[in-house]
Amino acid sequence: MSKVAVTGGAGFIGSHVVDVLLNRGYEVLVIDDLSNGIKENVNQEASFYEVNICDPFLREVLGKEGPDALIHLAAQSSLRNSTKNPRFDAQTNILGSICVLESCKDLCIGKVVYSSSVDVYGEPQYLPIDENHPIRPISPYAASKYAVENYLYCYKRNHGVDYVSLRCSNVYGPRQDSNGEAGFVAVFLDGFLRDRKPTINGDGGQTRDFIFVEDAAKAMVLALEKETNSKIFNIGSGVEVSIGGLYNEMKKIFERDLFPTYSDPIEGEVRRMSINPGLAEKELDWKPETTLEVGLRKTIECFKAKKN
Ligand SMILES: NC(=O)c1ccc[n+]([C@@H]2O[C@H](COP(=O)([O-])OP(=O)(O)OC[C@H]3O[C@@H](n4cnc5c(N)ncnc54)[C@H](O)[C@@H]3O)[C@@H](O)[C@H]2O)c1
């Protein structure tokens, strides 16, 4: 396997996946409509196509390039926007993914790695969540992520398109968008660097499992390379951190307090989250390597460099 297509490769996680692939000697083509991604994020060694995955031109590009495999990250990636506009979410995340899978089927692209989310589990019934936890999505975004996992199963069973779905927890790191609705880390960081008071949705007691983007990107490439018995893996740190705790960690690094304000919790978000990444450790030979403190420091350096 030498040529890999990455949909959403101009986005936050996708651009890191492209870097990992290039470092491991793959030829890479990026497909992204730049609706949320940035062309400058894309490594210049990759070929770039500005294409919407819902556009029939997608098949033409994939047909011409002939990738052996595809990593599918292109999505409407905002949980909050999915509750405001569930139709648009479904159009991009479900119908767009079907367009990708149809192309894979017709062009005999052998394997798809899909970027799913731990949001598919809904409100946890136990922690840390493993892959056998019941699936009860509580947002249109989570419902769309789970729908695509079911389509992946159908395309594997009926058309032999192999797949692995990675249910990622909260990914953070360099290149994360700090505008509008963004990850907690990017929002706090932006606050510290611009001396702006951040807003915490909820009381800060809600918890998340934070995974550094380079670790998540590596998991996607390993999922592409490994022959595995399982098709679905949790990808996260296995460490439960409260949002207030995350803020305090960053306060310690910056040695000052911005005195955040608090607002209503976001509809569709769970109260607690921590995942068990044991299956990925066992079958993908992957483990979260970057501690929160190290990841935060690396992210801060990159945000500072970008600001100057
Ligand atoms: N960031 C996280 O914490 C997280 C956690 C779990 C899963 N995910 C999933 O990982 C993937 C990447 O997330 P991200 O945080 O990098 O988001 P992102 O918004 O930075 O990346 C998504 C990319 O897809 C592109 N895109 C959107 N619609 C498209 C379309 N119709 N055609 C072509 N390109 C399109 C965007 O321009 C963007 O570059 C998404 O599928 C997201 O649901 C993210």
pLDDT digits over 44-79, tens only?
999 999 999 999 999 999 999 999 999 999 999 999
Average pLDDT, the chain: 95
| pLDDT per position as a tens digit, 152-210 | 999 999 999 999 999 999 999 999 987 755 588 999 999 999 999 998 988 999 999 99
Whether 217 and 156 map to the same domain: the answer is: yes
Q: Does the structure show a pLDDT above 60 at 260?
A: yes
Residue ID of nearest Cα to ligand 1 atom 2: 171
Beta-carbon neighbour count of residue 201 at 10 Å? 18
Is 15:37 a contact under the CB 8 Å cutoff? yes
Q: Which domain holds residue 256?
A: 184-207+239-275+292-307
Q: Give the residue numbers marked as catalytic.
A: 141
- Give me the phi and psi of 176, to 5 degrees please: -75, 140
Query: Does residue 126 sit within a domain?
Result: yes
- Ligand 1 lined by 146 (C-beta under 6 Å): no
Amino acid identity, residue 47? S
Cα of 9 from ligand 1 centre, angstroms:
8
pLDDT of residue 219: 98
Whether 143 and 163 map to the same domain: the answer is: yes
- Ligand 1 lined by 14 (C-beta under 6 Å): yes
Whether 114 and 188 map to the same domain: the answer is: no
Q: What is the CA radius of gyration of the chain?
A: 19
Beta-carbon neighbour count of residue 272 at 10 Å? 15
The closest-lying atom of ligand 1 relative to the alpha carbon of residue 77 is: 43
Among 89, 55, 63, CA closest to 75: 89
Whether 167 and 190 map to the same domain: the answer is: no
Among 237, 223, 220, 214, CA closest to 288: 237
Of 47-61, 127-141, 252-266, minimum mean pLDDT range: 252-266
pLDDT of residue 280: 98
Query: Does residue 177 sit within a domain?
Result: no
Domain tally for the chain?
A: 2
Q: Which residue among 58, 77, 170, 237 is best mutated to probe the pocket of ligand 1, counting the most ligand atoms within 8 A of its Cβ?
A: 77
Please name the helix (run of DSSP H) or strand (run of DSSP E) that holds residue 57, with its range, or none. helix 57-65
Cα of 216 from ligand 1 centre, angstroms:
13
Query: Does residue 77 sit within a domain?
Result: yes
pLDDT of residue 306: 80
Whether 136 and 193 map to the same domain: the answer is: no
- Ligand 1 lined by 77 (C-beta under 6 Å): yes
Cα of 252 from ligand 1 centre, angstroms:
31
- Give me the phi and psi of 109, to 5 degrees please: -80, 120
Whether 229 and 258 map to the same domain: the answer is: no
Whether 47 and 64 map to the same domain: the answer is: yes
Distance CA 244, CA 203 (A): 8
- Ligand 1 lined by 276 (C-beta under 6 Å): no
Q: Looking at residue 197, which CATH number applies to its domain?
A: 3.90.25.10
How many contiguous H segments (helices) and E segments (strands) does the chain have?
11, 13
Query: Does residue 178 sit within a domain?
Result: no
pLDDT of residue 180: 52
Q: Does the structure show a pLDDT above 90 at 304?
A: no
- Ligand 1 lined by 35 (C-beta under 6 Å): yes
Is 208:273 a contact under the CB 8 Å cutoff? yes
Of 35-44, 86-95, 133-142, 258-267, minimum mean pLDDT range: 258-267
Query: Does residue 301 sit within a domain?
Result: yes
With cut-offs at 50, 70 and 90, classify the pLDDT of residue 308: low
What mean pLDDT comes out for the span 100-110? Answer: 98
